[in-house]
Amino acid sequence: MMSSFNSIEFKNDKLILINQTKLPLQEEYIKTDKYYRIAEAIENLEVRGAPAIGVAAAYALALAFKHKKYSEKYFDTVYNRLASTRPTAVNLFWALEEMKSVYTQNRESGNLYEILLHKAIEIHQNDIIKCDLMAKNGLKIFDKKSVVLTHCNTGKLATGGNGTAFNVISKGFENGLVSHVYADETRPLLQGSRLTAFELDKAGIPFSIITDSTAAFLMKQKKVDLVIVGSDRIAVNGDAANKIGTYNLAVLCNYHHIPFYIAAPVTTIDKSCKTGDDIKIELRNKSEILEIKGVPVSKGTYDVFSPAFDITPSELIKGIITDSGFYKFPFNFVEI
């Protein structure tokens, strides 16, 4: 049973996004046809998750030409604004390049907006298909009815479809292979306790929220059978960037002999990154650590180090689930 809500929808020439910063207490939607408003939504995490960011950016670039004709300077302005929003999520740059290719081939067309919009819709529909393929390919990680631990958010809120790692969990639950899910709260912005919990509740999957630091204790008690998370960028050798705290889990799984998996579409694999050392890590504003919902919890003068992501070395990853198949360590994504 999938969650009954849409995180990204295009209707009446406007993009409709559920405002993820308001969840789970409010289901508020952003409706806009302004590319710069969508750029702000990506930047402010009103929409987040690598595949979802790519889909939103594709629609934004199309909408930028709703009332505009060909202009190289204007295109560059729009492209660069969208590209500057989140530096680690490779799907963003993949989607923008796909849109740029279509623009270059059709820039002097009289119906440029319609052509770009058609491509954005295609990117969205393809993501829906990829999510379903990942869920199907991911069923093989379950060899019994399992208790699963996950980090951050990887469901409908993070994609244009039904999710990456979350969709694998959901498909496992539908097939009687998942009994319970532990959702890391995922500090500092609580994507687990706010967003994953919201989706688990909508899907009717039994779950418990835990603090990020509780995972080790659960594993010691043998209460976790496997861990599955998503990824925002994967290097050719399988090193994977994901929400800060993911590397912690991979190390814990290695120590406790628990399988650690990643689910992500092929578009998350960056052929320009040979290893994780080539992946640029986004640093967030210190207010996300020193404040919660705008309420100070520490002194604003204190220094903060707040990377949005960390890199999990490929040797700690048992398998990577993609829309094109299931891959085991060691990984070599040169030909994929």
Does residue 294 belong to any structural domain of this protein?
Answer: yes
Burial class (CB in 10 A: 0-12, 13-18, 19+), 156: buried
The reported pLDDT for the residue numbered 317 is 98
d(C-alpha 207, C-alpha 262), whole Å? 20
Report if pTM > 0.85: yes
Residue 153, domain extent: 137-328
Percent above pLDDT 90 for the chain: 94
Q: Which of 75, 110, 132 is the last residue of a domain?
A: 132
Contact present, 71 and 32 (Cβ < 8 Å): no
Q: Which of 84, 112, 132 is the last residue of a domain?
A: 132
Residue 70 confidence (pLDDT) above 80: no
Q: Are residues 85 and 163 in the same domain?
A: no
Q: Are residues 93 and 144 in the same domain?
A: no
Is 232 tagged catalytic? yes
d(C-alpha 81, C-alpha 94), whole Å? 15
Q: What is the CATH number of the domain that holds 155?
A: 3.40.50.10470
Q: Are residues 195 and 292 in the same domain?
A: yes
Number of domains in the chain: 2
Q: Are residues 33 and 76 in the same domain?
A: yes
Strand order in the sheet with 233-234: 233-234, 240-243, 309-312
Distances (CA, A) of 295 to 188, 191, 194, 274, 299: 13, 18, 17, 41, 11
Q: Are residues 55 and 154 in the same domain?
A: no
What is the pLDDT averaged over residues 319-326? Answer: 98
- Among the listed residues 232, 239, 270, 323, the single catalytic one is 232
Instruction: Using DSSP bridges, classify how beta strands 291-292 and 29-32 pair: parallel, antiparallel or unpaired.
Output: unpaired
The reported pLDDT for the residue numbered 4 is 67
DSSP code of residue 204? T
- The string of pLDDT tens digits covering residues 259-299 is 999 999 999 999 999 999 999 999 999 999 999 989 999 99
d(C-alpha 278, C-alpha 145), whole Å? 38
Q: Which of 132, 163, 192 is the last residue of a domain?
A: 132
Q: How sure is the predictor about 1, in pLDDT bands with cuts at 50, 70 and 90?
A: very low
Q: Are residues 187 and 311 in the same domain?
A: yes
Contact present, 85 and 190 (Cβ < 8 Å): no
Q: Are residues 142 and 111 in the same domain?
A: no
- The string of pLDDT tens digits covering residues 26-45 is 999 999 999 999 999 999 99
